Amino acid sequence: MLQAVLVRAGYAVEGVGSGLECLEVLTAAAADLVVLDVEMPQLDGWDTLSAIRATSTVPVVLLTALSGDEHRARSVERGANAFLSKPFLNSDLLQVIRDVLGIPADAS
């Protein structure tokens, strides 16, 4: 569903099913942005983010059903550029992505 929202908004998307698959895709091809869910199989979003930060500065937006300051702080400590708690509006996600990528609001 998230992939469909992003494609409709004009983004090229490579969907993956796990943290390990995300790292494999990033090794094979450059990305302008990574959107990660904290709760993923094989490697959670925080560990995936830490692995990404070991080799890359690609912007990362972290999504999670977990809310609270401790989860936001953990995300920032690991290097997330943005953190969004579920549930969220699609428009909120798209705005966060534009902000992280530095795309002006009137360019959407």
Show pLDDT as tens, one digit a residue, over the chain (108 residues): 889 999 999 999 999 999 999 999 999 998 999 999 988 888 999 999 999 999 999 999 999 887 777 777 777 888 899 999 889 999 999 999 999 999 987 765
Q: How confident is the model over 6-23, as pLDDT tens digits? A: 999 999 999 999 999 999
The answer, as to whether pTM is greater than 0.85, is yes
Q: Which token pair is 84?
A: 């969004």
Which fold would CATH assign to domain 2-7+17-102? Rossmann fold (3.40.50)
Q: How confident is the model over 20-33, as pLDDT tens digits? A: 999 999 999 989 99
State the amino acid at position 73 in one-letter form. Answer: A
From the CB of residue 78, how many other CB atoms can be counted at a distance below 10 Å? 18
Strand bridging mode 60-64 / 34-37 = parallel
Query: Domain spans of the chain?
Result: 2-7+17-102
